[in-house]
Each structure stands twice: as C-alpha cells, then as structure tokens.
Amino acid sequence: MHLMNWKCLASLLMLFFVSTNAHADDAAASKDASAAEKPSDELADKFVTTEHSFSVAGETIDYTATAGRLVMQTDELDPKAEVFFVAYERKTDDATKRPLTFCFNGGPGSSSVWLHLGMLGPKIIRFPDDASLLSPPYHLDENHQSLLDITDLVFIDPVSTGYSRPAKDVNKSDFHGYNEDVRSVGQFIHDYTTLNERWLSPKLILGESYGGLRVAGLSGYLRDHYKMELNGAVVISGAINFQTLRFSPSNDVPDVCFLPTYTATAWYHKQLDDEMQSLPLAEVVAKSEKFAYQKYAPALLKGTGISKKERQRVAKELASLTGLSEAYLLSSNLKISMQRFGKELLRDEGLTVGRFDGRYTSIDRDSAGETPEFDASGAAIFGPFTACLNDYMHRDLEYKDRRVYEILTGNVHPWSYKPFEGRYVDASETLRGAMAANPSFKLFVACGYYDLATPHFAMEYTIDHMGLSPERSKNLTIKHYEGGHMMYVHEPSLKQLRQDLVEFYDGAVGQPAE
C-alpha cells in the first residue's frame, strides 16, 4: 500500500516535471519568436527595391525604385540617424554615365513629397489648372513630365521628416539647424554615392523653398568636406537670402521684392484697372518691377522724410499695381506685408488669397481681421499629397513602416541659425564661391509669378547681389512660370518646366566646361 503510494507519487512528480519543462520550452520558443518580431534597438540599413516602367516623351522607361532607410554613422561607426529616401534608377548597362540628382524640399521640417509626387517622380498628383480644389479620394497618375529619362533621382527626407529619425540617445538638435542640416544631408549624399558606386556619375542637387538655402550650403560643403564636385544645381522657388523675405519696419527690401507678385496676384483676380488687365501677365509684372526699383524703393528709403506730394503720388501708382485702395496704402505708410495683402485684396468679396499660391482663395470666419486665418493654397494641397504618399509607399513601393510619415512637421524647431547671428540668414556667398571655384557648375532657378512665399523678384534681387563675375553669370538660367510656389501643380507650367530643365541638363552634363 505504501509502496504503491510512493510509486504513484513518483509518477505524478515525473508528469509534473515533464509538463513544466514542456511549458518552459514553449515559453522560451514564444519569447524567441516575440524577440524576432520585435524590432531591434540596433539600427540597420533597410532597402526595398521594386521594378516598374512608364512612358516619358513617347519613350518607355524601365526603372527600379528603392525605398528605404540608410543609417548614418560617426567615424567610430556608431549610428547617428536613419535617413529615409526613395531612389529611382533607369535600367542601363553603365550607371556611371547616368546623371544623378539629389532632391529635397525645405521647411525647415518638410519631407520631399512635394517634388516627389508633384514634379519629378514617375507618379504624380494632377491638380485642376484653374486652382479649384480636388475632392477626396485622390489618386496618382503617370508623370509624363518626369526627369527620370535624363537623370536618376534620389528624394531625401532630412532627419525628423518623412520616416527619417535620429538614432536612439542622439539629440535631435544635432540635425536641426543650418550647419547641422547641411552636414547631415551632405553626409547622406556622400554615403549614398559611395554605397551605390556613383562617384563617376555627373551629380546635381535640386531643392525647393528652404531647399534653396540647403542647395547653397551644400554647394560649398560637398566641395570643401568631401571634395565632391557638382555639375550643377536647380532651385525651385528658393529662399537663399532672408532679408528679401522678412518684413519689418526697418527692412524695406521685402516690400520692394513682393510688389511684382502682388501685381501678378491682383491681375489674376481681376482687381486692376481695364488697361492693366488687358496686358499679358509678364508685361504687367515688368511694369511693377520697374516701378518697384525706380520709384517705390527710393520712396521707402526716405521713411518719414518723404514729402506729402511724393507720398500721395506713390500711393496712387501703388494702388494701380496692387488693387488696394490709396487710403489703405497711405494708412499703412506705403508698406504692405504679405499677410495683410492676402487679407485685403479680396476683402470686399469675403475671400483671402493663398501664400504658397496667390491663385487659391478661401473664406475666413469674418472679413474684419488683419491677416488670413490659414493659407488657402496649403489647405488645397496638403491633403492630396499626404493621402497619395501613404498609399503609394505601401502599395507601389512595398515599403512598410508603422510610424507616421511626417509630410511637414514642426518637430524640427527650434531651428538653429547660429552662423548668422546678428544678421539676416544669407547663404548666397557660399553659392557664389562654389560657382566661382568650379567653372562646370551651372545653376537653374525656377520662379512662379503667383508665389507669395518666396517671390520671383526676391530671388532675382538675391542673384543680382551675389557678385557673380560675367564669366560665371553665363552659367546661370532663370525662368518664370504662371504658377505659385509649387508652380508644377499648374500643368502648363510643369510642361514648360520640364522642357527648360531638359535643355539645362544637356548643358550641365552634356557639354564640357569651357
């Protein structure tokens, strides 16, 4: 009886230990599987490559698309950040003979989605040419105006934009500033070029908005730090000298530089007199530019020292060029900020005009305010770009990431402009130096007539004050388009822009330097 009980007890203990070990093995296996599913704290490059084709200029283009993150490292090989990019390469036997263009937008805090799906990539969002709003849901079409037939394209999302993030325990301030940004984007360009064996390819950089300042900074940094020579740069609606853009009582330059765009916007909305409305846009703008330099600038320079007679005379002509009343201009001391203009131009109609694109209008809560409640043009484009990017990334490019793709974020602020303390931000001298040192460096500048964020006359002022020699001025091309900051959402402008850039690229990479 007792022996039988001990045998039963032993059997029970045996079953217990077997069962316990089995559960332990199952738990260990489950833990291992869970660990395999859980992302590692250690960053690693991740690239997803897919194959596609589309048509440009009547030609079928076969290409590969690579979406992924490239981990930037210190010299000690410690991770600094993961930089997300999308690269398009046309299939060819020798990639080194293909030009390579690195593309980015600005902000600071902007991803590259605008250039990617609005102008350059193989897929595009089509917006109505009459500046009316798209209705959701949105979709992408083939972009027959893409530049992929003449250059490979790499779209860069600077750290904290898109899917790009600082590495763990790395302070985001290491990337959020003029110098910091130029260094990190410059290192990405170096690393990508090295990893993909493209050092012998003709290379260009292309930036929009604050991307113009980045272009200027990179033109010097890539040359000085990596000894990387560029064939050229493209600036779309660029900001390079902030003195031309920052309104203040003591700075008259923006008032002068914005005036021709006020005229263009007033002309578009039929707010000028019959004589001015009957003229072509370019001719109307030319009249405004002439007045801005010859009469308006001298009047502003006099400040309160201007005579009453001259003040009245300037206000009258200014009214004819802006669609604003003489009384409003006199009460504003002849100085009109962009925000005030955006609210005042169509106040009687209860409408405001857009900042990125003066063709767009919207409705505020009331018409009594001094400035618009929001940017009408931004409201028209942010939604379509965001929806299409997220769908395209997952469906077409097969890149999966559960984080938010930061289209345009304020997470980069505060942004450091330490190199420019005590003065306006201005990188034009760096750009001039790069063009002076490299006779092969060519610069293309595209400006939209309805751009109330970075007006064309501000860019022309910047270039006119760069001090380029006559020899290097031959390497400069400036073109104007009947669109806004993103002139490419206006299809006739996009088509003309492609034609102009094809010609520019031929000169930048198809001909030897003199």
Helical segments of 178-252, H only: 178-195, 211-226
Boundaries of domain holding 272: 248-336
Residue 346 resides in a domain: no
CATH code of the domain containing 501: 3.40.50.1820
Count of residues making up the chain:
514
3-state SS class at 389? helix
Question: Are residues 406 and 331 part of one domain?
Answer: no
Are residues 395 and 274 part of one domain?
no
User: Does some domain include residue 5?
Assistant: no
Asked if 87 and 185 sit in the same domain, the reply is yes
The total number of structural domains that make up the chain: 2
Q: Answer for the pair 163, 76: CB distance below 8 angstroms, yes or no.
A: no
Residue where one domain finishes, among candidates 336, 370, 396: 336
Residue 406 and residue 501 share a domain: yes
230 in a structural domain: yes
Cα dihedral angle (328, 246, 461, 428), rounded to 10 degrees?
Answer: 180
Q: Which of 443, 421, 445, 415 is nearest to 431 (CA)?
A: 443
427 and 288: one domain? Answer: no
Same domain? 440 vs 455: yes
* CA 491, 495, 497, 498 torsion-angle sign: positive
User: Does residue 312 sit in the same domain as residue 327?
Assistant: yes
| Digit-coded pLDDT (tens) for 144-191 | 999 999 999 999 999 999 999 999 999 999 999 999 999 999 999 999
**166 inside domain:** yes
The answer on 475 and 462 residing in a single domain is yes
Same-domain pairing of 105 and 135:
yes
Q: What is the pLDDT of residues 373-409, one digit of tens each?
A: 999 999 999 999 999 999 999 999 999 999 999 999 9
> Per the domain annotation, does 372 fall within a domain?
no
Q: Are residues 281 and 391 in the same domain?
A: no
Same domain, 310 and 413: no
Domain identity same for 227 and 282: no
Q: Give Dmax over CA atoms of the chain in angstroms.
A: 127
For residue 305, tell me if it sits in a domain.
Answer: yes
Decide which of 278, 313, 336 is a domain's last residue.
Answer: 336
Let me know if residue 236 belongs to a domain: yes
Domain membership flag for residue 224: yes
* Residue the block writes with tokens 């505020």: 364
Which CB contacts under 8 angstroms, 24+ apart, belong to 321-326?
321/259, 321/262, 321/263, 321/266, 321/272, 321/276, 321/287, 321/288, 321/291, 322/259, 322/262, 322/263, 322/266, 323/262, 323/266, 323/269, 323/271, 323/272
Q: Block means of pLDDT (10 residues each) for the chain, length 514 residues? A: 36 37 43 40 87 95 97 95 98 94 97 98 97 96 97 98 96 97 98 98 98 98 98 98 97 98 98 98 98 98 97 98 98 97 97 98 95 96 97 97 96 96 97 97 98 98 97 97 98 98 95 42
